[in-house]
Amino acid sequence: MSIRVLLCHEQQLVRAGVRTVLTSEPDVRLVGDFDGGDAAAAAIPVLGPDVVLASLACLGYGASRLVDAASRTPVPVIVLAGNGEKECVERALRTGARGFILDDDPLEQIGYAIRSVAAGHALLSPEVTSGVIDGYTGRMPAPRAEGLDLHGLLSPRELDVLRLLATGEPVARIAKDLFVAEVTVRSHIHHLLRKLGLARSFQAVALAYHTGLVNPLSTVVERSPALVNGSGANSTARR
């Protein structure tokens, strides 16, 4: 069964490039193509997408019908940002985006991100991952962020849970992978946070990357040519 994608981007060349990429993905189908957030928001309940791929301009954080419509359905949102918008990743994540990729990431990253987010995971472009990790670990007390031995502090099962959390696995999936109940996974998360002196699971994930427990580049595709190079981009957008 195909993953239904709704695309919203104000730049015609980018939309044309994304359409070209998606036609080569046998398990992905583009069901809507818009250049503005309001029109895309109105189409969500009609077209029933599984994933929304949108630019920051289309999302228009703060008063966006597109964000509201996606959250009500709910449909996971992937932000397709320009290189100059890397610093907006935290704002996008706080708003509820499940993915953040750049328009000069590898062509293959689009399909990979769509599949990951549709499966309930989260995905960041490798170009912004380090910044996110540094941002979170930089807010932790120095003894916690530097020279920390997670293997010495956490049990083997807690380390397993943390590794899976760091790959974007939801609690239900972690429980299934480890053959335990969801309440057991939540208990492990509670205990590892207490041992690390942290309040939120995303802080533990950032620490896992920072200390080398998880490699941020291990689950992303390698870099390749830019997403949009101008060729084959002569299609017009549907409204």
Q: Write the pLDDT tens digit of every residue in 154-163.
A: 899 999 999 8
Q: Determine contact, residues 116/99, Cβ cutoff 8 Å.
A: yes
pLDDT at residue number 237: 38
Q: Is the dihedral of CA 199, 185, 205, 211 positive or negative?
A: positive
pLDDT score of 92: 78
H or E segment to which residue 156 belongs? helix 156-166
Architecture of domain 3-125: 3-Layer(aba) Sandwich (3.40)
pLDDT at 125: 80
**How high is the pLDDT of residue 61?**
56
Which CATH entry fits the domain spanning 132-210: 3.40.50.2300, 2.60.120.10, 3.30.70.1560, 3.40.50.11030? Answer: 3.40.50.2300
Residue 225 has pLDDT above 50, yes or no: no
**If DSSP codes are grouped into helix, strand and coil, which group holds residue 88?**
helix
Measured in degrees and rounded to the nearest 5, phi and psi for residue 12 equal -60, -40
pLDDT at position 63, please?
43
Q: Where are the domains of the chain?
A: 3-125, 132-210
Q: Identify the pLDDT of residue 147.
A: 53
Q: Which of 103, 117, 113 is nearest to 170 (CA)?
A: 117
Is pLDDT at 218 greater than 60 in this prediction?
A: no
In 10 A of CB 208, how many CB atoms?
A: 23
Instruction: Name the more confident of 144 and 96.
Output: 96
Predicted local confidence at residue 135, as pLDDT: 58
Which residues fall within 8 angstroms of residue 24, CB to CB, at 6 or more apart?
A: none
**Mean pLDDT value across residues 59-74:** 70
